[in-house]
């Protein structure tokens, strides 16, 4: 390759929205929890950037950056104001500069399903945005949530004006804001909050216009349960997530809530759940691994909200699964930084093995055992792993133990 080509590739890297998905070697850190706004957060993260980079994370998902009615950031109002409970605009920009220096991409949490109004309009509702940037009127709010816009193209987020993405002026303003976050503020990746709330076609349009290097959507709905607990077959659940990814033009990944739901039951002595009827992994990871962001917990399911927490005594089995398997693994801040140095170091070791054995989002997988107290699989032919109390080790003398911990072991060639 000549010099000229290299320069071209450098420039192109910044705008090629497909490159990261094609490469498939991401490891994400969710870099906050539900309480982070109380702790001078941008400054706290600034001090952790060297460790985040050294641990092998390629991207860190940050909480919503804009001014918000609630301190956690999920009731945004003035989108262009970057002074939030997490810290000042100045501290945020300095954090983003440091992340760039350490080559960790910054992922912005994009909350555009709803927006809190500033003044009363039609029907006496707070559905106008006078006096702040993007001073929309009632036509920007869906008719289902008290505005004069069209009906929502998705589910309602109750108690707040929902944004009407069918309006051209709304989309134009959102695109302007996303481009500003991407090109001026310094975010490179996007996470779309409450993606069930508006059509995936708009996500496709927003990604195409703002060109984040990587995007992931939150399509969270309930898994399939019966009278005795979680159904073995979660195909309809994962299909809904896959249909959403498809509708974004396949340019966004999605959180693999299916795998989370199954894995947190499997680790309680039901490892048979980790193999579907076709012999594949049973979550989105089994059907479309290059678009599946696997995780154990986030600020909603875990943290102090604990809406659907992963069993705490089993998190290392969980990480041994997602960090050795195809898909795009995402580690939760609490587990990495608040649960002790042993867990931090075990996670780092698993990330290191993933890198060294070149496991990526599309790596092949062969499930060898899926019984009540034992799961075993070979991933990418150069890594083998087991979970559970059942005794097992790979046959063949070229396998050597790479790491092991409570109820998990990993071998490599």
Q: Which strands sit side by side in the sheet containing 400-405, from one edge to the other?
A: 365-371, 374-379, 383-387, 408-412, 400-405
Q: Is 352 a catalytic residue?
A: no
In the set 137, 218, 276, 297, the catalytic residue is 218
CA atoms within 13 A on the CB side of 264: 19
Please count the other Cβ atoms lying within 10 Å of the Cβ belonging to residue 123: 10
Backbone angles phi, psi at 144, to 5 degrees: -70, -20
Nearest C-alpha neighbor of 203 from the set 253, 135, 257:
253
In angstroms, the Cα distances linking 217 to 83, 87, 112, 167, 339 are 25, 25, 12, 21, 27
The catalytic position among 72, 109, 137, 193 is: 193
Q: With b meaning 16 or more CB within 10 Å and e meaning fewer, what string describes 354-381? A: beebebbbebebebbbbbeebbbbbbbe
Scanning the structure block, which residue is given the tokens 């006078």?
130
What the block records as the tokens of 254 is 């999605």
| Closest by Cα among 262, 257, 187, 199 to 232 | 262
Alpha-carbon gap, residue 244 to 246, rounded angstroms: 5
Strand partners, 2: none
Helix, coil or strand: residue 33: coil
Task: Tell me how far apart the alpha carbons of residues 144 and 147 are, in angstroms, rounded to a whole number.
Answer: 7
Active site residue 218: yes
* Cα–Cα distance list, 4 to 9, 19, 162 (Å): 9, 19, 48
Catalytic residues: 193, 218
């Amino acid at each position: 390759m000549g010099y000229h080509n290299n320069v071209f590739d450098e420039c192109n890297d910044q705008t090629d929205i497909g490159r990261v998905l094609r490469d498939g070697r991401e490891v994400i850190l969710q870099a906050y929890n539900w309480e982070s706004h109380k702790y001078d957060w941008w400054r706290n993260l600034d001090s952790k950037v060297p460790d985040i980079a050294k641990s092998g994370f390629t991207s860190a998902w940050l909480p919503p950056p804009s001014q918000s009615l609630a301190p956690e950031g999920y009731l945004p109002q003035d989108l262009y104001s970057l002074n939030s409970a997490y810290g000042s605009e100045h501290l945020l920009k300095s954090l983003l500069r440091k992340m760039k220096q350490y080559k960790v991409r910054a992922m912005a949490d994009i909350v555009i399903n709803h927006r809190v109004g500033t003044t009363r309009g039609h029907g006496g509702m707070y559905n106008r945005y006078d006096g702040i940037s993007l001073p929309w009127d009632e036509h920007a709010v869906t008719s289902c949530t008290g505005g004069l816009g069209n009906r929502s193209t998705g589910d309602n987020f109750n108690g707040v004006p929902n944004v009407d993405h069918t309006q051209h002026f709304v989309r134009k303003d959102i695109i302007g804001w996303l481009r500003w976050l991407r090109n001026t503020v310094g975010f490179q990746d996007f996470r779309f909050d409450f993606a069930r709330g508006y059509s995936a076609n708009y996500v496709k349009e927003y990604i195409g216009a703002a060109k984040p290097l990587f995007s992931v959507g939150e399509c969270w709905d309930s898994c399939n349960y019966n009278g005795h607990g979680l159904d073995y077959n979660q195909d309809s659940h994962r299909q809904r997530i896959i249909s959403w990814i498809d509708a974004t033009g396949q340019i966004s990944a999605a959180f693999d809530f299916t795998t989370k739901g199954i894995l947190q039951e499997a680790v309680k002595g039901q490892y048979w759940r980790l193999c579907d009827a076709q012999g594949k992994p049973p979550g989105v990871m089994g059907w479309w691994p290059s678009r599946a962001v696997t995780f154990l917990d986030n600020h909603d399911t875990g943290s102090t909200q604990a809406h659907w927490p992963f069993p705490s005594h089993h998190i290392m089995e969980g990480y041994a699964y997602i960090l050795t398997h195809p898909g795009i693994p995402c580690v939760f801040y609490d587990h990495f930084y608040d649960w002790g140095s042993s867990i931090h170091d075990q996670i780092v070791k698993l990330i290191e093995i993933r890198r060294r054995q070149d496991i990526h989002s599309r790596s092949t997988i062969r499930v060898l055992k899926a019984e009540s107290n034992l799961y075993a699989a070979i991933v990418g032919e150069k890594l083998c792993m087991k979970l559970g109390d059942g005794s097992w080790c790979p046959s063949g003398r070229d396998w050597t133990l790479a790491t092991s911990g409570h109820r998990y072991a990993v071998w490599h060639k």
